[in-house]
Chains A and B, each alone.
Chain A
């Protein structure tokens, strides 16, 4: 199913956003997040952005204090996922204006809606920033 989950974690290891595309129980999620975060946060900038964990491949990237972690199938193209992460950040950047951890904390719903526009069922369905933000901006105007 391509993307299995998307996590945003700050450098203290606190989860800031978690979106799963397959069902895991709360305990499983907690365990998984803990393991992955421990693995990825320990890595340095000079190391590559791919980590294999259980049956996932984790592609991650750090932006300022925030780590974007995407768990994918083994079949998935790692570099494309890196580009996807970048696209996600750019989109948020455009919407929030110089996005930071706090923006995501306080606008978690919006972040979820952006993700929903971009990814459905683990497949990337939209890659145009204006298309992604269209519905959200419309809603903001309305309210």
Chain B
């Protein structure tokens, strides 16, 4: 029983498909007086039976007693109401529940298993709980400065000063802030993009990258119910959650080459070719998460060409525009190549990293359509999907984005700051690699500087990662992904040493 009900949710690791077959194993059929339980122990059944007995407690009492219980209950309620109105403090202490009233009903949710810790956010939780002074957090992908502190960009602070107290907080339209959407599209598709001028892009403000992907997945489910999504191996763990909860079947395509710690280009092309015509592909526009391995410009052209002949649909997840190379235009290169080749694309943008707006949940989902009318229809349907999820998106982050991108001075400042962040990371990559080579590590570490963006796929095994955590208090996800944003001049030496120790 124990093995069956307490399902081993630690199997659900970051890069494996995070489906939940376990949900179907524990079934519960509830009838008014009796509960039929599968996969429960005898003692558990007994406890729940007794609870059920209390639930049908009326049967325990005579008719007269039941009337009395009811009278006491009602009186208690009236007293409570009066007490509550007169004083908040007295309501609880004075009223003592009479027998049978405050009995616990058997819980409807007794069968709910505890969810496994999120593999990525769970790392930070464990890190915070660690008392060691040497601890290093290279788990979650949030940027840190060289002192290991979170950063709020100057342009963001200035934008906040400008918007504080000026505007009311009325609901945004369902599609979100039109100003923010406009600026986001210019960033992704190009300042002078014809598609924007021709109003061919259906775009809505979304809850950062996650929300944008989820909206697209729900849209795919509703309007192309026979379609599947092809997801690279490996990918950000939450991608699997998103398409699973949207009930869109998933497939994978090969991406990462473990031996070279680079791109497995031939397998990638083969999988694209073998997928049935008109499939949906999730592509990381730049700074692939978690590997940091991106196709070269030439490789992107070949991928685009193959996509054309197979008539596949590309959905770009762009969470790191500007953050990868330091130049937003350069980081959007893949998207521009596809657009030039005439593809109709989808794009999920996030401002969590490149503007440091993590907790504000600012993002945008766009779909390039055939024409303006279609774009209007598609946008209306995207809004329709958002309405029963959150009605309309949060305003604060959107205001910050549109204020920054809409003001030339602030935008210039932002570009400088984002380049600064990217440069620091590139510098840390170089330093980490140099340190490892100086320590005389027999392995090749050139992939650290070959890869790009916030993350480095170190190639370490889960066991090696566990050693890093247990012995050196270094926290990262078990797939060996290091968040370079968490590496500082202060800890790079310690980190290099520890990695060397567990890999030599």
Q: Do A and B bind each other?
A: no
- Residues in chain A within 8 A of chain B (CB atoms): none
Chain B contact residues, CB within 8 Å of chain A: none
